């Protein structure tokens, strides 16, 4: 057997092991062989997810200094800090695939990698904080719970803790809205207005319709994705309509009706042209979000340098002691 033939045979064997592992629903770990497409898909998805957590701190961080009470401020601060933690777990998960965080951050601030389109919308009132918790974190939970069973071990394990924290986020938002809905007519109007603005962007969080999502099939075959975009979107709508009723707000879709034959709510199509525009950088806050991230990263350069110098000094001391 020539060297070339031997390489091909070995590769085929590795591919067989990988496929077998996926078929048996076992986890793929960092040192396992994996097809390059699988690795690239994971890096892209985990990086995009990590960026979304970090950029997602901005719309809510906008209200930290103006929270209406100490209690609301403490809750919001905890939530925004959780999002930073989610970003860090996810960058760490991406690092196990051979990319490093500074490389990914470089791609984010230069626009070469994306983050969720939802974070390009502004937070106009404090009711937005409640609605983000209810709808945006609610949609994130629907998207992310199946990822706890993703075939790549480090990603799946990171998602377990993230999902627990997301459910706290969802509940704090809903509780804030419940409080506002039992307040004045003006407060109720604020909640309705925020719901009207965030409903459609929340539906877009599940990505384009299945017919327009070319990577879904492969991701499902690899056990990264467990449900299609449209399945998850339907699940979110079915879950959210009764919550809106309990809250006493209406959802801004005249096509939203219960379909007893399907056992699901029917709903209208989001404006996909808007989705594509926001994703391409044309949303209300895209420039501001990336610019803010870039300047925060640059402002933090001295911290990274100091940490690296400290680590080098510690290592040198350790060597001297030996």
Residues in contact with Fe ion by CB under 5 A are: 53, 83, 86, 137, 166, 169
Listed in sequence order, the residues at least 6 apart from 204 whose beta carbon sits closer than 8 Å to its beta carbon are: 117, 118, 270, 274, 275, 278
Q: Tokens in use for 245?
A: 């009723």
Least Å distance, CB 136 to Fe ion, is 7
The vertex-41 CA angle with 39 and 47, nearest 5°, equals 95
In angstroms, rounded to a whole number, what is the distance separating the alpha carbons of residues 111 and 289? 11
> Using an 8 Å Cβ cutoff, are 231 and 216 in contact?
no
> Using an 8 Å Cβ cutoff, are 107 and 47 in contact?
yes
> Using an 8 Å Cβ cutoff, are 122 and 59 in contact?
yes
In angstroms, rounded to a whole number, what is the distance separating the alpha carbons of residues 297 and 106? 9
Nearer to Fe ion, 137 or 253 (CB): 137
> Using an 8 Å Cβ cutoff, are 82 and 48 in contact?
no
Least Å distance, CB 201 to Fe ion, is 15
Nearer to Fe ion, 37 or 85 (CB): 85
Least Å distance, CB 57 to Fe ion, is 9
Nearer to Fe ion, 86 or 197 (CB): 86
Nearer to Fe ion, 146 or 253 (CB): 146
Nearer to Fe ion, 86 or 289 (CB): 86
DSSP, collapsed to helix, strand or coil, labels residue 269 as: coil
Least Å distance, CB 123 to Fe ion, is 14
Nearer to Fe ion, 128 or 137 (CB): 137
In angstroms, rounded to a whole number, what is the distance separating the alpha carbons of residues 64 and 56? 14
Least Å distance, CB 305 to Fe ion, is 29
Least Å distance, CB 46 to Fe ion, is 13
């Amino acid at each position: 057997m020539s060297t070339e033939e031997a390489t091909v045979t070995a590769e085929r064997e590795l591919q067989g092991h990988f496929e077998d592992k996926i078929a048996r629903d076992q986890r793929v770990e960092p040192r396992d062989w994996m097809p390059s497409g699988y690795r690239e898909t994971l890096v892209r998805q985990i990086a995009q997810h990590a960026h979304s957590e970090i950029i997602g701190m901005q719309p809510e961080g906008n209200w930290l200094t103006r929270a209406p009470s100490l209690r609301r401020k403490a809750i919001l601060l905890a939530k925004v800090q959780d999002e930073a933690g989610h970003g860090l777990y996810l960058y760490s998960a991406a690092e196990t695939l051979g990319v490093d965080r500074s490389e990914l951050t470089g791609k984010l601030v230069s626009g070469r990698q994306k983050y969720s389109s939802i974070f390009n919308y502004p937070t106009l009132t404090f009711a937005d904080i409640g609605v983000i918790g209810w709808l945006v974190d609610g949609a994130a939970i629907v998207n992310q719970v199946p990822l706890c069973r993703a075939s790549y071990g480090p990603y799946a394990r990171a998602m377990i803790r993230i999902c627990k924290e997301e459910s706290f986020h969802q509940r704090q938002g809903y509780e804030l809205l419940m409080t506002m809905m039992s307040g004045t007519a003006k407060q109720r109007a604020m909640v309705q207005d925020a719901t009207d603005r965030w409903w459609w962007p929340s539906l877009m969080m599940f990505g384009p319709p299945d017919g327009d999502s070319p990577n879904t099939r492969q991701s499902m075959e690899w056990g990264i994705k467990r449900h299609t975009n449209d399945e998850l979107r339907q699940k979110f709508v079915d879950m959210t309509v009764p919550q809106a009723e309990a809250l006493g707000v209406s959802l801004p879709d005249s096509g939203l009706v219960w379909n007893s034959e399907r056992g699901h709510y029917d709903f209208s199509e989001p404006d996909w042209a808007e989705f594509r525009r926001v994703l391409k950088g044309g949303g209300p806050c895209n420039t501001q979000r990336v610019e803010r991230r870039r300047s925060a990263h640059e402002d933090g350069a001295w911290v990274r340098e100091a940490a690296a110098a400290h680590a080098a000094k510690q290592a040198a001391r350790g060597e001297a002691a030996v």
